[in-house]
């Protein structure tokens, strides 16, 4: 198995690794090589959304993305926190709405919404934001608090 150098920008930091196998998923690179454990491993089949990150501002499932496929691109994870205004805004809405529950799915929901705000614009409609969450699952809630967080994003504006 070939292991050429992989260069990425992760949360605004240049990353260069020579130990990434060609067939490694971005999820594994983030969690195990870069110790960014906020991106969660759920299904590994793209069905739950827990592993959602942003690749050049667009939502992507890191369990279905090979690290080599994002060579030279910018990756944003939940750890971006206050350095990424969209991620910080969504996190604040989740906190204010009490939409954290057990927290396992929360990073995927936050990153999916942050991606929607990038893709649709800061004034994305409620329907557009809910559509962006279509691939995210939460197993411990009725989604009420998550819907309140979406509504907070709409009320608070860009």
Residues 47, 13 share a domain: yes
pLDDT higher than threshold 90 for residue 155: no
Residues 62, 88 share a domain: no
Domain range for 96 is 80-156
Residue 148 belongs to domain with CATH number: 1.10.150.120
Is 0.85 surpassed by the pTM of this model? Answer: yes
Give residue-wise pLDDT tens across range 74-93.
Answer: 999 999 977 899 999 999 99
Q: What is the DSSP string of 91-151?
A: HHHHHHHTTTTTSSSHHHHHHHHHHHHHHH-TT--HHHHHHHTTT---SS--SHHHHHHHH
The mean predicted confidence, pLDDT, of the chain is: 92
């Amino acid at each position: 198995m070939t292991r050429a150098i992989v260069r990425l920008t992760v949360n605004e930091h240049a990353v260069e690794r020579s130990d990434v196998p060609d067939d490694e998923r971005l999820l594994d690179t983030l969690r195990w090589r870069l110790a960014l454990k906020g991106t969660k491993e759920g299904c590994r089949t793209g069905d739950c959304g827990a592993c959602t990150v942003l690749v050049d501002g667009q939502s992507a499932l890191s369990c279905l993305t090979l690290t080599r496929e994002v060579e030279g691109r910018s990756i944003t994870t939940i750890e971006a926190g206050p350095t990424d205004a969209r991620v910080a805004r969504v996190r604040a809405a989740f906190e204010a709405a009490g939409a954290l529950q057990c927290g396992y799915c929360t990073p995927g929901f936050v990153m999916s919404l942050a991606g929607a705000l990038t893709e649709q614009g800061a004034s994305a409609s409620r329907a557009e934001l809910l559509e962006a969450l279509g691939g995210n699952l939460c197993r411990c809630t009725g989604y009420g608090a998550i819907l309140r967080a979406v509504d907070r994003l709409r009320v608070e504006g860009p």
